Structure 1
Amino acid sequence: MLQEFPPTFIARCLGFDESEEEFHFLWQEQQFSLKVDQNLKITGGALVRFQSSQGKFILEKVVYTPPEGLKANGDTLRWRKLNQFPSRFHCLKARHHILRSIRDWFDQQGFLEVQTPARVRAPNPEAHFDLIQCDQGYLVTSPEFQMKRMLVGGFEKIYQISACYRGKEAGHWHNPEFTMLEWYRVGDNWQRLCQDLQEMTKYLPRAWIASKQHKMLEGKWKLTTVNDLLQEFWHFEIQPIDQAGDLLEKLNKNGHENWINQQRINRESFLVIFGRLWGELEQKLGWERPCLVSDWPPQLASLAQINPNGFAERVECYVRGMEIANGFGELTDPNEQRKRFEKELIHRSQVGKLEIGLDHQFLDALVEGMPPSCGMALGIERLLIWLLDVPSIENVMAFREYEIF
């Protein structure tokens, strides 16, 4: 085994098996074992210097002394933790290969990769977003408005992989800064977006995807509607014109009085009530196969067209009880878009969110004429959580926000 290593190198200890006199270590992202005759007192995670001498290796612990004044504690040093180090490289290498394959797929379909600014004067006004303000403007919650302006300018098939920013988002599936894949097609509909999503994920390299997810990728995805799922789990359906009172009445009629009491619902809006009942429902979606959900209440899609049945042309994709993608048949009417944005500004004020102005450049572009289009946004980290079968966004990011600030 000596010939596989240089005369001197540094590796990370994974443990010492006293019975076998074997030292287990990680070097160049691979695990190795080496028989040694030293009485080693080196714990897992420590750095070890290997020095070749007379046909065998002499091992010496590398003592790391932080520079004077530097305090390293808690998760600051999690890259050195034994329980995360080996898998860390795999997840980030898998991320690299999967992102490269995503770009390959879109290039093969004739899409143009674009890059739009991360800082804007006026962000998306939807009330559920907590915005991150900077010296001049805001960090984007999505590149949507700028990409749509490019559609007005004549581009027909574009995509972007970029950092997006949403404040107060933290948890297993959230980080204030995250990576979004967003793509648009002129002259197509949301059904084509679903086809894109399925074909693109099937194209991704199986060598970097957890084996248990291969079957889900190859199988047929479930396509359903919001009302189908409400009927299945809550035993009622909604109408596009329903308000908060209508929802409460249907919940009461179908035996959900205890749920209403547990939620302490009193004067909450339709959006709040629907959000809570959907939050319980969505946890059950996408465990056996990915689930695509269409026909949403119009109140939940301020940028989408309305279909002939009165529901929004919006589709979401769920896996493992987690939303990973959200697509629209895009609204192109500038007057209707302005009205919806103004309602969102009122809603922001009612719920105490940061007051902002409208993106008049985007609205002016709609006046010039945006062609019939569809677009979808896919959270890259959530896609990776699913494909790599890991429990948290922490596994697929180099750093979480708490490690930076």
Structure 2
Amino acid sequence: MSPFRLANLHLRARIIHVIREFFRSRGFLEVETPHRIPANAPEEYIDPYRAGTGYLHTSPEICMKRLLCRGYGDIFQICRCWRSDERGTRHVPEFTLLEWYRADSDYYALMKDCEELLKAVVEMVGGGTALSYRGRKIEFNKGIGRITVREAFERFGGTTMETALRDGTFDEIMVTAIEPALPRDVPAILMDYPAEAAALARLKPGDPTVGERFELYAGGLELANGFSELTDPREQRERFGEANAKRLRSGLPPLPLPEPFLADLGNMPPAAGIALGIDRLVMLCADAERIDDVVAFTPEEL
């Protein structure tokens, strides 16, 4: 038995308890949706696991958004998810996500949720408003720093967002230059991704070159990905088609489309949703360098 891992599993349980109380106290309904579904949202770089005639979900978003379309209001879920060929110091193929959605809302409300949730978790962990991760102190009572992707490329990337998209260096610069330059003494939000990387986010009113999408970082860890939801079924179908086209160009097979989701999408109210990695949040709170130290079993131990 590893004493460090055992302590982290106790910490993990307490964090999950705090998360549940956080959302319940704000009137969110906790839901459970199927883990095996006919189709996930096709994405260029994410491969789902086959499970009989369907797939294990890569996130619960498809079913949770269908609940939004049916009028369920503010909802959250903590569940296991699966993504093939994901293994590293911060990745395991089977992991735990917290996902929540707000009806009649946008991504700014999610940013506020993130700020308040992190404060609640950190207070439970250390009894204060700060913690240390990998030798750096992070303050959680000073708000969350925000920077747009366009601004980040100009300040840290040595080029423009548009140029990086054209020459195919966008992802490389994000990883090698921009993410390391984000603030480490407070949580950080990188927001307004280019339309080409908007995923399931709606485009920003007044600036259709970017989507209302953001990612949350703390201590150099990417914790969450959220956005104001795209509610146009036609545009969403086109984006799924583009994702499959990119998969084909990369030598990957296309994925089936979630047709029931597309059929329901026109009934979705203005909404915003976000997925936060529980394992990485525990890593942050435990000052753990490897995801192996915060899960009960690694894939290699099974």
Same fold (TM over 0.5): yes
User: What's the CA shift string for 1:243-267, capped at 9, x where partnerless?
Assistant: 854xx4xxxxxxxxxxxxxxxxxxx
User: What's the CA shift string for 1:187-220, capped at 9, x where partnerless?
Assistant: 1110110100110111126353484368522222
Residue equivalent to 1:212: 132
2:5, 2:295 within 8 Å by CA — same for their partners in 1? Answer: no
User: What's the CA shift string for 1:334-378, capped at 9, x where partnerless?
Assistant: 1101111111111111112233211100000013x1111000110
2:147, 2:189 within 8 Å by CA — same for their partners in 1? Answer: yes
Residue equivalent to 1:355: 254
Residue equivalent to 1:143: 60
2:3 aligns with one of 59, 64, 86: 86
1:125, 1:344 within 8 Å by CA — same for their partners in 2? Answer: yes
Tell me how far apart the structure 2 counterparts of residues 215 and 178 of structure 1 sit (CA, whole Å): 25
CA, structure 1 residues 244+220, in 2 after alignment: closer, same or farther (shift >3 Å)?
closer
- The amino acid that maps onto 1:116 is T
Q: Give the secondary-structure state (helix, strand or coil) at the position aligned to 2:146.
A: strand
> How many pairs were matched up?
293
1:349, 1:355 within 8 Å by CA — same for their partners in 2? Answer: yes
Residue equivalent to 1:309: 207
Q: How does 1:6-405 map to 2 (within 5 A)?
A: 79=1, 85-204=2-121, 206=123, 208-209=125-126, 211-212=131-132, 215-239=138-162, 244-245=165-166, 248=167, 270=168, 273-280=169-176, 281-307=178-204, 308-310=206-208, 311-367=210-266, 369-404=267-302
2:138, 2:219 within 8 Å by CA — same for their partners in 1? Answer: no
2:279, 2:295 within 8 Å by CA — same for their partners in 1? Answer: yes
Tell me how far apart the structure 1 counterparts of residues 275 and 147 of structure 2 sit (CA, whole Å): 19
Structure exhibiting the larger radius of gyration computed from Cα positions: 1
The list of structure 1 runs, each at least 4 consecutive aligned residues, that deviate by more than 6 angstroms after superposition, is none
Q: Give the secondary-structure state (helix, strand or coil) at the position aligned to 1:197.
A: helix
Q: Give the secondary-structure state (helix, strand or coil) at the position aligned to 2:293.
A: helix
Q: Give the secondary-structure state (helix, strand or coil) at the position aligned to 1:283.
A: helix
Tell me how far apart the structure 2 counterparts of residues 215 and 353 of structure 1 sit (CA, whole Å): 40
Tell me how far apart the structure 2 counterparts of residues 342 and 355 of structure 1 sit (CA, whole Å): 9
1:283, 1:320 within 8 Å by CA — same for their partners in 2? Answer: no
Tell me how far apart the structure 2 counterparts of residues 195 and 207 of structure 1 sit (CA, whole Å): 19
Tell me how far apart the structure 2 counterparts of residues 243 and 105 of structure 1 sit (CA, whole Å): 39
Tell me how far apart the structure 2 counterparts of residues 291 and 127 of structure 1 sit (CA, whole Å): 26
Between 92-101 and 320-329, report the one with greater CA deviation.
Answer: 320-329
Q: Give the secondary-structure state (helix, strand or coil) at the position aligned to 1:96.
A: helix
- The amino acid that maps onto 1:291 is A
RMSD: 1.7
Tell me how far apart the structure 2 counterparts of residues 320 and 278 of structure 1 sit (CA, whole Å): 16
2:138, 2:187 within 8 Å by CA — same for their partners in 1? Answer: no
2:224, 2:277 within 8 Å by CA — same for their partners in 1? Answer: yes
Using the size of structure 1 for normalisation, the TM-score is: 0.69
Using the size of structure 2 for normalisation, the TM-score is: 0.92
User: What's the CA shift string for 1:359-400, capped at 9, x where partnerless?
Assistant: 100000013x11110001100011111121111101110011
The structure whose RCO (Cα within 8 Å, separation 6+) is larger is 2
Q: Give the secondary-structure state (helix, strand or coil) at the position aligned to 2:51.
A: coil
Tell me how far apart the structure 1 counterparts of residues 283 and 183 of structure 2 sit (CA, whole Å): 13
Structure 2: 5+ residue runs without aligned partners?
Answer: none
Q: Give the secondary-structure state (helix, strand or coil) at the position aligned to 2:78.
A: strand
Tell me how far apart the structure 1 counterparts of residues 64 and 165 of structure 2 sit (CA, whole Å): 34
User: What's the CA shift string for 1:304-362, capped at 9, x where partnerless?
Assistant: 10012121100101122221100010000011011111111111111122332111000
Q: Give the secondary-structure state (helix, strand or coil) at the position aligned to 2:256.
A: coil
CA, structure 1 residues 391+346, in 2 after alignment: closer, same or farther (shift >3 Å)?
same
Return the offset for 1:87. Answer: 1.5
Tell me how far apart the structure 2 counterparts of residues 141 and 365 of structure 1 sit (CA, whole Å): 20
2:156, 2:181 within 8 Å by CA — same for their partners in 1? Answer: no
2:74, 2:101 within 8 Å by CA — same for their partners in 1? Answer: yes
1:97, 1:205 within 8 Å by CA — same for their partners in 2? Answer: no
Q: Give the secondary-structure state (helix, strand or coil) at the position aligned to 2:251.
A: coil
Residue equivalent to 1:29: none
- The amino acid that maps onto 2:37 is V
Return the offset for 1:285. Answer: 2.4
- The amino acid that maps onto 1:220 is G
Return the offset for 1:86. Answer: 1.8
